[in-house]
Structures are given as structure tokens and as C-alpha cells.
Structure 1
Amino acid sequence: MPGRHAKPQYPVTPDGRYFVVRGRLWRMSNPALGEAERAKLVHQLMTARRQVGEALRAKDANVERSARDAVDAVKHQLGERGPVWWGDGAPDYNRHLARNTPYAQWFGALSDEHTQS
């Protein structure tokens, strides 16, 4: 039985640049990051996300803004936002619907289990 924190398995594009949730492409972290660096950044990301939640519950807009800025900064460091981490000149389709991108044929071939997640 999977643990309570088991990660769902989302489909990843053949080039490894995006994973798909509910038909939308989300940029993967930069695979060139070392495991220790990536783990450190993910820890910082989770801390910042918890701070967002705490600020929302406390209705503290200043702390919320600061926490959201921290989330954004870490996402940039991970390569999930900001300039793309690949160097072949391909455009960024982050947050686009897969069916409206060059990944449409690949996405269409996935089972319903993956396209409806």
C-alpha cells in the first residue's frame, strides 16, 4: 500500500522537459542540478509553501507576499520558471495545454488514466 506521501506518477514528455497534469504541461526541474543541490532547493520550496499556508491562515498579506516571492525564487533556481534550462532554442510551453503544443500527438496517445489526472 503506498504511503500517504507517495508521489503520483504523471506522464513526462519524451524529451523530459515537462510533466502533464490534467492536460497541462508543467516544466520539470533542471536535470543538470546535482542531487544535493536539488534536495536543498526542494526543502526550501516546501518551507516557503508552508509559510504561504501559514500566512493565509493568519490573514497576513505581507508575510504571504514574502513567502510567495520565496516560492518563485526557488522555482527559478530549480529551472521550473524563468529562462529555460535547455539550449537548443526550443520554445517554452510551460503551463500550456498539451493538445495545443507540438506534444499533442504524444499526449493524444496516452491512456485516459494519464490524461484525466
Structure 2
Amino acid sequence: MTHPTTPDGRYFVVRGRLWRCSNPTLPEGRRRALVDDLMAARSAIGTALRCGDKAAERQARARVHSAKIALGERGDPWWDDGTPDYNRHMAKNSPYADWYASLDGDR
């Protein structure tokens, strides 16, 4: 499933909520390595949960967070024009409300 992306390319929308896109200026090799790290860390969370290993779960969650910051999906916004960050806001309650309302179909 493809999620709609805001016209400025900063967010994609899932169930009405804005989620920050990865930094598009990351070199492809770096982005791929970070996504691989992210997926491995998410897998490690599942393993830790199944084993009941709280320490391993904390470490894996920290790895997820670090990868998401490096990708630009968390932390300071990757754009530098001073526009506020609306990550995790509902699209209908953001400056993207009119754009979002104009979309057709299941969002």
C-alpha cells in the first residue's frame, strides 16, 4: 500500500496522521545501511519480547531510535527553512488540512 505524501515531500499520511519522511538528501548507500539497521533493530525487539529479555529490548529500542534520528524521521527536522515540524499530528489539524481533505479514497 502506498501512503499519500504531502506536496512538499516532508510527510506521508497513515490513518490521517502525518509521519515524517526520511531525509531525501541522504546518499542512497547511507540510507540503505540505516534502513537495514532499523529493520535489524526492530527484529531484535521482537526477539527480546519473545524471550522476556528487558535489557535486550531496551537496547534494541535505542537502536531503532538512533536509526530513525539518522534517517531524519525523528529529532530535528531535516529541512532548514524554519517551517514547524508536524510529525505525528493529525493532517486535518495541520497546515496540510486542505490538501488532505482533497484526497480521494481510503486514507
Q: TM-score range by the shorter chain?
A: over 0.9
5+ residue gaps, structure 2: none
- CA RMSD for the aligned pairs? 0.5
Select the residue among 88, 91, 100 that pairs with 1:98.
91
Select the residue among 6, 15, 38 that pairs with 2:8.
15
1:86 aligns with 2:105: no
Per-residue deviation, residues 93-114 of structure 1 (Å, max 9, x unmatched)? 000000000000000001122x
5+ residue gaps, structure 1: 1-7
Number of residues of Structure 1 aligned to a counterpart in Structure 2:
107
TM-score by length of 1: 0.90
Q: Distance in 2 between matches of 1:97 and 1:61?
A: 32
TM-score by length of 2: 0.98
SS in 1 for 2:13: strand
Structure 2 match to 1:35: 28
- Segments ≥4 residues shifted beyond 3 Å: none
